[in-house]
């Protein structure tokens, strides 16, 4: 098992945001995480990437407990992520944003961070995402969907084993979402990395994820094949507010 989350729990000022969440991700698997707003998906991701410390529970990658590891050490483990609200470095160009991911990966592997090697890899990634033409511009000047692709390219740049993508399809047109889902499947195919994708666009999510996990009020309410999870009465109730 690549990732194992065991009994993750956190409360903010008495409000329980995530409650005893446990799940696993296999190497090379794409896991979709669904749930209504406020169900705890992003908080889960923030704990799993150590941006916040879990109140209780444990997180293991390849059997190694990283619950107490500093967030900057996760790249070395092979974990990277994107953010729900785009968080590209606004004063760094598209290429420089991606270069940060590349150099983090090199640091993790102990490879010397030579500029020539960094930029060669950056240009490869920009070509892969079809954004080479934007290499020298600042991210804010690009359309939202393109900025999303830049952020994903940055997350993939460190050659991770596991990537958490927080609402990667949000704000994208259906064409852009389709292209991105193809890109993610291609990347998984070529690199074998596992992806955990949180998104509200269930239609696109189902087209890429092999398995879904549904959260409501901070708890896992269903887990398994997409069709089974989406037809689960508890999941329907959490989205619609009543049985259908």
Partner 1 sequence: MDGEWSATLLLCGIYSLVAIATQLGIICGAFSLAPIGWMSVGAYAAALAATKWQVGGATGLAIGVLVAVVFGPLVMLPVRRISGLYFALVSLAFVLVIQSVVSHMDYTGRALGIFGVPLLTNLWHVGIALVLVCGVAAFMTGGWRGRALRAAGQDPKVAYSMGVNVANLQLVVGAISAVIGVVAGFLYAHYVGYVDPTQYGFAMVVQVITMVIIGGRGHWMGAIIGAFLITSLPLILRPLAEWRDVVNGALLIVVAVLLPAGIFGVFGLFRRRAGPVDPAEAKAGH
Task: Select 76 or 128, whichever has its Cβ closest to partner 1.
Answer: 76
User: Cβ of residue 136: shortest distance to partner 1, in angstroms?
Assistant: 3
Q: CA dist 95 to 43, 99, 144, 187, Å?
A: 29, 6, 17, 19
User: Cβ of residue 167: shortest distance to partner 1, in angstroms?
Assistant: 16
Query: Please, which residues bridge with residue 188 across strands?
Result: none
Q: CA dist 78 to 11, 162, 164, 206, 215, Å?
A: 27, 6, 11, 25, 25
Rounded CA gap, 210 and 228, in Å?
Answer: 12
Buried b (16+ CB within 10 A) or exposed e, 48-65: bbbebebeebebbbeeee
What are the residue ranges of helices labelled H in the chain?
41-48, 74-77, 94-109, 115-128, 144-156, 174-191, 202-208, 226-230, 233-240
User: Cβ of residue 212: shortest distance to partner 1, in angstroms?
Assistant: 25
Residues in touch with partner 1 (CB under 8 A) = 49, 51, 70-76, 80-81, 83, 87, 89-96, 99-101, 103-104, 107-108, 113, 115-116, 118-119, 122-123, 135-138, 154, 158
User: Cβ of residue 214: shortest distance to partner 1, in angstroms?
Assistant: 26
Task: Select 160 or 223, whichever has its Cβ closest to partner 1.
Answer: 160
User: Cβ of residue 120: shortest distance to partner 1, in angstroms?
Assistant: 8
User: Cβ of residue 90: shortest distance to partner 1, in angstroms?
Assistant: 6
Do residues 57 and 51 lie in contact, with contact meaning Cβ atoms separated by under 8 Å? no
Rounded CA gap, 59 and 6, in Å?
Answer: 6
Task: Select 115 or 243, whichever has its Cβ closest to partner 1.
Answer: 115
Do residues 46 and 52 lie in contact, with contact meaning Cβ atoms separated by under 8 Å? yes
Question: What is the CB neighbour count within 10 angstroms for residue 36?
Answer: 16
Task: Select 100 or 230, whichever has its Cβ closest to partner 1.
Answer: 100
């Amino acid at each position: 098992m690549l990732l194992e989350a065991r009994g993750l729990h956190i409360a903010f000022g008495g409000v329980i945001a995530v409650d005893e969440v446990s799940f696993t991700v296999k190497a090379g698997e794409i896991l979709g995480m669904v749930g209504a707003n406020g169900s705890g998906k992003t908080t889960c991701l923030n704990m799993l990437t150590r941006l916040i410390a879990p109140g209780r529970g444990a997180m293991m990658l390849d059997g190694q407990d990283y619950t107490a590891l500093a967030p900057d050490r996760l790249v070395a483990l092979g974990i990277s992520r994107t953010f729900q609200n785009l968080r590209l470095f606004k004063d760094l160009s598209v290429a420089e944003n991606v270069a940060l991911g590349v150099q983090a990966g090199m640091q993790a592997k102990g490879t010397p961070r030579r500029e020539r090697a960094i930029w060669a890899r950056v240009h490869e990634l920009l070509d892969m995402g079809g954004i080479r033409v934007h290499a020298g511009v600042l991210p804010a000047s690009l359309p939202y969907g393109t900025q999303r692709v830049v952020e994903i390219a940055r997350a993939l740049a460190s050659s991770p084993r596991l990537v958490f993508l927080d609402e990667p399809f949000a704000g994208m047109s259906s064409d852009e979402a389709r292209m991105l889902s193809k890109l993610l499947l291609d990347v998984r195919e070529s690199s074998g990395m596992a992806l955990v994708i949180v998104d509200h666009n269930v239609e696109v999510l189902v087209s890429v994820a092999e398995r879904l996990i549904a959260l409501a009020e901070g708890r896992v309410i269903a887990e398994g094949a997409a069709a089974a999870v989406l037809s689960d009465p508890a999941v329907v109730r959490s989205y619609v507010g009543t049985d259908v």
